[in-house]
Structure 1
Amino acid sequence: MTQNRDNSTRTKARKRALDILYESELRDRPGTDTLAERIGLGEPPVRPFTIELVNGVLEHLDELDAAIAAALTGTWTVDRLAHVDRNLARIALYEIAHTDTPPAVAISEAVGLAAEYSTPESPSFLNGVLSAAAQRLAVATPGDSQQT
């Protein structure tokens, strides 16, 4: 029961991080401003894991976008991705590269959120992009994937 509650709590934190990053893009404002605003409102409270995810994505944005871009095929670019998909990919890759979240869990969570909040094609597309990007990250940083 504790494991399911923890997963639910982390899933909610990921969803809130997605909301904050998505809103920041749509409003064309810094993610740190949106995060600070949400923390200040306090309702609902912003979980520590949400704060870690948002700040981590913002701090490592260039690295994350480069990993996504390298995993895209054809004429796809990071900017061409739907806002939801792009931010889910960033969150998942941040978790893979900079936390102790197993890659399969980070990818599964992102795909699940894509199924809930994006297009019908997004889950399988995101799964492929994240799987390729995670493999590239593992090759690029052997033994150093837990760096914070």
Structure 2
Amino acid sequence: MSEPPYRGGVGSRREARERALELLYEAESKGQPPAVVLQALPVPPEAFTAELVRGVGDHLAELDEVIASYARGWAVARMPALDRAVLRLGVFELLHRPDVPTGAVISEAVELAKRFSTEESGRFVNGVLATIAADARPA
């Protein structure tokens, strides 16, 4: 089951997250802040995509600190870049987008990890985000 299309734009949140992941990966690959990558685009992305990219960029230190404290045995800097970007995106939504259901955040992040990284990445992302969610969004 996928989320309904978000208000204010064409497409789905799934597509917006995928585009945000691409932009976050591009920013890291170029060694630029995510906001710089957004500003350089010839056509601005959908609003939700831009919000995710800006949010991750604005909270990068906090997100990495949270990831590091939950990813036992893994230093954030040593994680594959795609896994790191997916985790940052998921943690940003868990901590700063309470309107997005926890299950949606986790399942979308796992799908992104499986699609763009490895099957093992999907399991890793699921474990880290589920543990963070249990503390950040207790039932």
RMSD over aligned Cα atoms? 1.9
The equivalent of 2:137 in structure 1 is 138
CA offset at residue 66 of structure 1?
Answer: 1.2
Partner of 2:123: 124
Aligned equivalents of 1:28 and 1:135: distance in 2? 32
Residue ranges of structure 1 left out of the alignment (5+ in a row): 143-148
Matching of residues 1-40 of structure 1 within 5 Å = 6=5, 9-38=12-41
Structure showing greater Rg:
1
1:4 to partner: Cα distance: 5.5
Query: Is the partner of 2:72 in helix, strand or coil?
Result: coil
Higher relative contact order (CA 8 A, sep 6+): 1
In the other structure, the counterpart of 1:49 is 48
Q: Distance in 2 between matches of 1:77 and 1:16?
A: 25
Alignment correspondent of 2:96? 98
Matched, 1:62 2:65: no
1:136, distance to aligned residue in structure 2 (A): 3.0
TM-score (norm 1): 0.82
Partner Cα separation in structure 2 for residue 112 and residue 98 of structure 1? 21
How many residue pairs match? The answer is 133
Deviations 1:91-136 (A, max 9, x none): 1111111111111110100000111100221000110011112223
For structure 2, the residue ranges without an aligned partner over 5 or more in a row are none
Match of residue 145 from structure 1: none
Deviates more, 1:129-138 or 1:109-118: 129-138
TM-score scaled by structure 2?
0.87
